[in-house]
Structure 1
Amino acid sequence: MNDLTQVIKSIRLSEKATIGTETNNEYTFKVHPDANKVEIKQAVEKLLGKKVVSVNTANYLGKKKRERRADAGRTAHWKKAVVKLAEGETIDLV
């Protein structure tokens, strides 16, 4: 991907993500499905101005949905990235 502003879509604020933030200085983002670890690291460092130690990614399939018909659809597939920041770095979520 050429445009780093399209790599990070949103931050994930779940119970598990909050525990990772408090204990391991790890922040969870919803990212573009075609983005790789290097692009995610560059996007966080340039857009947020933070030093990244590591990036872990996971792909998720969309959930199956059905509406009173035989044909089933599904929600969009998505990708999650868990970014560990350097010691002393934080992101203000407020």
Structure 2
Amino acid sequence: MADLKYYDIIQKPIITEKSMTAMEEKKYTFAVHTEATKAQIKEAVEKLFEGTKVAKVNTMNLDGKTRRRGRTVGKTAKSKKAIVKLTEDSKDIEIFEGL
């Protein structure tokens, strides 16, 4: 497994209608590194966003989609998604405010 730093684990926030409604329950969705574990994701969120405390982390491994270009068939890259639930006394994550 690669030596991952906390700033390499979280790649970008995922902003969809479903993830925006989940923010009311203090659940935030991120695209994360494919080799990151739940403990690493928890540590990365708590270090990157000051004042946050993670209660739970759910992860999903997404396989690449099959794509065709003429006769050649290939696959897109696989990815991983994490839904992070914060504790009740935790601060909100600032990058999602104002959306």
Same fold, judged at TM 0.5 (above): yes
CA distance in 2 between counterparts of 1:37 and 1:3 reads 14
Shift of 1:87: 1.2
Deviation string 1:44-94 (CA, Å, 9 cap, x unpaired) is: 00111211111000100111110112x211111000000001114211225
Report the equivalent of 1:87: 88
Give runs of aligned pairs for residues 9-88 of structure 1, distance below 5 A.
9-22=11-24, 24-49=25-50, 50-69=52-71, 71-88=72-89
CA distance in 1 between counterparts of 2:4 and 2:19 reads 28
CA distance in 1 between counterparts of 2:29 and 2:55 reads 14
CA distance in 2 between counterparts of 1:29 and 1:61 reads 16
Report the equivalent of 2:7: 5
TM-score, structure 2 as length reference: 0.86
TM-score, structure 1 as length reference: 0.91
- Which stretches of structure 1, 4 residues or more, deviate above 6 A after TM superposition? none
Gaps of 5+ in 1: none
Gaps of 5+ in 2: none
Give aligned-pair identity as a percent: 42
Q: How many residue pairs end up in the alignment?
A: 92
CA RMSD, Structure 1 to Structure 2 (Å): 1.2
Deviation string 1:9-52 (CA, Å, 9 cap, x unpaired) is: 00000111111112x11000000000000000000001112111
Shift of 1:2: 3.6
CA distance in 1 between counterparts of 2:63 and 2:21 reads 24
